[in-house]
């Protein structure tokens, strides 16, 4: 085998390795995001993020979720929303998640955007 072919092979295996390892870690990340949402949000927003009646808003149709950046949503989650806030949609309390890390909040946001 000449040097070029060996180099090509290394490149091919290298790329394949990257694809496989990404597939595994991306799946792990998605599972992690789901677990974070189930642990902290699903009681009110449902496992499918569609909202539980009289408990939490449907996040899959939420304009706020759609139009806001991840950073904005993380800030929102840290503050929560009081039932008497002018922008309240259900006149119910959205609790403040100031005790969760930005990383966990980012996971919850990722799942809310893409609940599966
Ligand atoms: C105790 C119930 C409860 C929990 C737990 C909860 N929420 Fe909420 N959430 C609500 C309620 C109720 C509202 C609607 C508040 C209102 O009346 O405006 C809301 C609103 C929201 C909104 C704004 C929707 C909009 O269109 O205005 C987002 C985003 C959201 N929640 C995300 C989350 C995430 C992510 C978690 C987990 C980290 C979570 N919530 C946990 C009850 C909850």
At 11 the pLDDT is 66
> Can you give the chain as a three-state secondary structure string?
CCHHHHHHHHHHHHHHHHHHHHHHHHHHHHHHHHHHHHHHCHHHHCCCCCCCCCCCCCCCCCHHHHHCCHHHHHHHHHHCECCCCCCCCCCCCECCCCCCCHHHHHHHHHHHHCCC
Q: What would be the CATH architecture of the domain defined by 32-113?
A: Orthogonal Bundle (1.10)
pTM: 0.85
What is the domain partition of the chain in residue ranges? 32-113
pLDDT, tens only, 20-37: 666 667 888 889 999 999
| Pocket of ligand 1, beta carbon within 6 A | 40-41, 43-45, 55-57, 59, 62, 64-65, 73, 76-77, 81, 83, 88-92, 94-95, 97, 108, 112
């Amino acid at each position: 085998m000449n040097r070029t072919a060996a180099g090509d092979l290394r490149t091919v295996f290298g790329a394949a390795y990257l694809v496989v390892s990404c597939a595994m870690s991306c799946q792990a990340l998605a599972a992690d995001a789901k677990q974070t949402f189930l642990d902290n949000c699903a009681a009110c927003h449902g496992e499918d993020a569609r909202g539980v009646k009289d408990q939490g808003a449907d996040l899959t149709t939420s304009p706020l979720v759609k139009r806001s950046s991840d950073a904005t949503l993380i800030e929102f989650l840290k503050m929560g929303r009081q039932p008497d806030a002018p922008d309240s949609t259900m006149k119910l309390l959205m609790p403040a998640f100031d005790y969760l890390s930005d990383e966990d909040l980012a996971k919850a946001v990722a799942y809310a955007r893409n609940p599966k």
